[in-house]
Structure 1
Amino acid sequence: MALDNIVYEAAAKNGVERITFASSACTYPTDIQQERQRLSEDMVSFEERGGAYADEVYGWAKLMGERSLQAYHEQYDIDASSVRIFTAYGPRENETHAIVAFMAKAYAEQDPFPIWGDGEQTRNFTYVKDITKALRLASENITDGTAVNAGISRYVTMNEAVEIIFDYLGWEPDEIDYLTDKPQGVRHRAADTSRAEELLGWEPEYTVEEGIKNTLDWYVEARDKEYVKENLEMLLHER
């Protein structure tokens, strides 16, 4: 949050005309993400008492980044917008994030194949090109600090994601090891993108299958298989 305000202040002092903030789906309360209900922007409110309750420290930092940007818009008349990014992935992402972590484990042929939780928790994995398009359109079309979601509306289980990866690699483990003692985050997460469609004319172009295949093509070309096997644990945990 401190870094966000440093950027906002420098922008205001130097006559920057517009700022688009890369926010997050973690701005939404965790208690409404245990059942399948698509998250809409009005589920977070600064006007209602108790209307904001973000997902841990990261979520609060993003939520306060949004609110600070609105204050700079009001005080300095800077055009402002925020895009709440939902589970982005794509080429050049490292192995500490879910999709590329799954790719690394499958590429290294880890067997038993570990999945945190029971594999039925869902995310709406959204390809990076759809995310960057939403950011550009928000910058061009929103001026008052309004936040919009950028994510697919499909609920994708971890089990479904790894099956897509297995199919594309032509490899499958003999056993999957469900690590139910590991952190799993919220149970379900997917975006209501009605506001983005209305204000930006934006909707995702890439299916999960297309996005994973594009990312896996990059990964296999960029990473040596033996290197991944020998350094898997380091890759999965080193930031």
Structure 2
Amino acid sequence: MSYDGDTVLVTGGASFIGSHLVEELVARGADVRVADDFSSGERSNLDGVADNVEILEGNLKHWDFADEASEGIDRLFHLAADHGGRGYISNYPANCATNMALDNIVFETAVENGVEKITFASSACTYPTDIQQERQRLAEDMVSFEERGGAYADEAYGWAKLMGERSLQAFHDQHGVDASSVRIFTAYGPRENETHAIVALIAKAFAGQDPYQIWGDGEQTRNFTYVDDIVSALVLANEKITDATPVNAGIREYISINDVAEAIFEYMDWEPEEINHMTDKPVGVRHRAADTTRAEELLGWEPKYSLDDGMAETIDWYVENRDEGYIRENLETLLHER
């Protein structure tokens, strides 16, 4: 689909996923505006399209800035959030809880400014944690606001994302705005920071950490999904879903942390003498993978990148863009601070 003539706002557009989305929208001909406070996103992430986008810097929890950001906008992709990997969301729950205020201000100002379509970047953390101890693929209807006890999200971050979905549904119901929510499952790729699992594991290998530290026993699984596939799901949801129906964006495979580490060692041609499994570290749920049936039916979406292909892209980017001495010296801070 061409976006020629459309004005599109991407909140959090300098972030890891946001910057890849901005590049895709520019390539499709959209007039793109980015709103970001640069607390975690980097201006350099937008270097490839800087001449083709409008960049506004400010805090979207402030009404006036959110109002300015969505003025004259046709489509909104709302990715801005206080977030990070497992270490961050476990250590900073209050920070993550502020996303509830952020989301509502962004939605309300957007609706008042006549934005026609809103797509919300939600998370697999919206799913009940107690059903993720055994291997069962997560389907969207496993979260329910209609049944007592139908929601049991993953930490404050997951609850905030779930409330963001519920809030967007309410704006659709009351104001008729076209809306969609995409539940993102364990995204990875170039520009991601070291608080997230795959880049954290790459950083440790790049710095030559030995003993090499793996949080937990390493047998916990995730469905690592390459960023280009996530961007594709966001764009398709904005085009095809109007009633705020949530949809998963993730792969169906269960991939263990130990398997990822071994793949990194092989690709980087390096291996530690010892691996230390740190069972005192936060690891989240035991198993997580997506049921993608709804995405296939509503969006015609399925992931295109294998783990090997995505890992190669990510490792090559990391090695080319990071300083080994700096990573070695600051590794522990990088793993916890976004």
**TM-score w.r.t. length of structure 2:** 0.70
Deviation larger for 226-235 or 37-46 = 226-235
**1:151-190 to 2 correspondence within 5 Å?**
151-190=250-289
Residue deviations 1:15-69 (CA, integer Å, cap 9, x gap): 0001000000011000000000000001011111211121121111111100110
Query: Equivalent of 2:222, from 110, 123, 142?
Result: 123
Measured after TM superposition, the shift of residue 238 of structure 1 is 2.4
Give the Cα–Cα distance (whole angstroms) in 2 for the partners of residues 76 and 117 of structure 1.
46
Q: Which residue of 2 aligns with 1:12?
A: 111
CA distance in 2 between partners of 1:2 and 1:63 (Å): 13
In the aligned structure 2, how far is the partner of 1:187 from the partner of 1:53? Answer: 15
Q: In structure 1, what is the equivalent of residue 246 of structure 2?
A: 147
**Whole-Å separation in 1 of the counterparts to 2:215 and 2:170:** 40
Other structure's SS at 1:146 match = strand
Q: Match for 1:199 among 275, 281, 298?
A: 298
Q: Which runs of 5+ in 2 are unaligned?
A: 1-99
2:197 alignment partner, one of 80, 89, 98: 98
Q: Distance in 2 between matches of 1:187 and 1:234?
A: 25
Once residues 247 and 263 of structure 2 are traced to their aligned partners in structure 1, the CA distance between those partners, rounded to angstroms, is: 29
Decide which of 213, 219, 224 is 2:312's aligned counterpart: 213
Distance (Å, rounded) in 1 between the aligned partners of 2:270 and 2:129: 35
SS of the aligned residue for 1:148 comes to: strand
> Helix, strand or coil: the match of 2:289?
coil
Q: Quote the residue 2:123 is aligned against.
A: 24
Alignment of 1:217-236 (within 5 A): 217-236=316-335
Q: CA deviation at 1:228?
A: 1.5
Q: Which amino acid aligns with 1:176?
A: I
Counterpart CA distance in 2 for 1:169 and 1:141 is 40
In structure 2, how many angstroms separate the alpha carbons of the residues matched to 1:86 and 1:18?
Answer: 23
Aligned partner of 1:134 among 210, 233, 254: 233
Equivalent residues, number: 239
1:231, distance to aligned residue in structure 2 (A): 2.0
Match for residue 57 of structure 1?
156
Distance in structure 2 (CA, Å) of the matches to 1:218 and 1:130: 17
* Structure-2 separation of matches of 1:71 and 1:226: 49
Match of 1:72 in 2: 171
Shift >2 Å, 4+ stretches:
none
1:61 and 1:221 map into 2 onto residues whose CA distance is: 35
The aligned residue for residue 20 of structure 2 is: none
Q: Can you list the C-alpha shifts for 1:102-154, whole angstroms capped at 9, x where unaligned?
A: 01100011111000111100000111110010000000000000000000000
Q: Relative to structure 2, which stretch is displaced further, 47-56 or 134-143?
A: 47-56
1:40 to 139, 142, 156: 139
Give the CA deviation at 1:230: 2.0
CA distance in 1, matches of 2:214, 2:156: 25
1:229 positional shift: 1.6
What secondary structure, in the 3-state scheme, does the structure 2 residue paired with 1:159 have?
helix
Task: Report percent identity of matched pairs.
Answer: 75
Distance 2:144 2:297 in 1: 20
What secondary structure sits across from 1:20 in the alignment? strand
Aligned to 2:182, what secondary structure does the other structure show? strand
Q: RMSD in angstroms over aligned alpha carbons? A: 0.8
Normalised to the residue count of structure 1, the TM-score between the two structures is 0.98
What's the offset of the Cα at 1:71?
0.6
2:117 maps to amino acid: R
With a CA cutoff of 8 Å and minimum separation of 6, indicate the structure with the bigger relative contact order: 1
Q: CA deviation at 1:184?
A: 1.6
Specify whether residues 235 and 56 from structure 1 end up closer, same or farther in structure 2 by C-alpha distance, changes over 3 A only. Answer: closer
